[in-house]
Amino acid sequence: MSPRAACRLEALGFTDVYDYAAGKVDWLAHNLPIGGASASAPTVGSRLRHDVPTAGPEEALSAVRARVDASPYRFALVVAGDRTLLGRLRHAALDAAPGTTAQEVMESGPSTLRPHSALADVESHLRAHHLTYAIITDPEGHLLGTVHREDLTGVTGGDRHSRRPGGQSSRVDK
């Protein structure tokens, strides 16, 4: 909101008024709640899955492998303590020698999308690149979750309901 609009709201008696200097796109990219006419537009942020296995960069692959094998996924995402996405571990990388750490075999800097991306655009992107999922981060690179092509199939406008966590039934690795 502009400083003028904030001032006007205060003059009208509103007490909790903030000037979010970073702007609307930054707000949307952090998957924060919105109102108004565009609030019902379906975005990837409304379909996030939060159940993907993660690993710390110094973590031994044996521990990561156990989590991946117990999950519906065939990969793990390597994150720092503040959830900054550092890399991806595909299932094949988990067979490395004992004592190997996640950062030694991870694929650095996987491609990511922002949560305010339109569902139809992401579905088209995944199909065009023969991908089964996309990794979603905020502008600072913090992992928010993943979204899978099956979550987007047949998407129609107006659906902003959140996806049930853990609803994955088949393993994916792309």
pLDDT per residue as tens digits for the range 117-165: 889 999 999 999 999 999 999 999 999 999 999 988 765 443 333 333 3
Angle at CA of residue 168, ends 165 and 174, nearest 5°:
115
Residue 44's SS3 state is helix
Model pTM above 0.75 = no
CATH 3.10.580.10 domain extents, the chain? 44-152
How much is the mean pLDDT over the chain? Answer: 83
Is it the case that residue 57 has pLDDT exceeding 70? yes
* CA–CA distance, 18 with 20 (Å, rounded to integer): 6
CATH topology for 44-152 is CBS-domain (3.10.580)
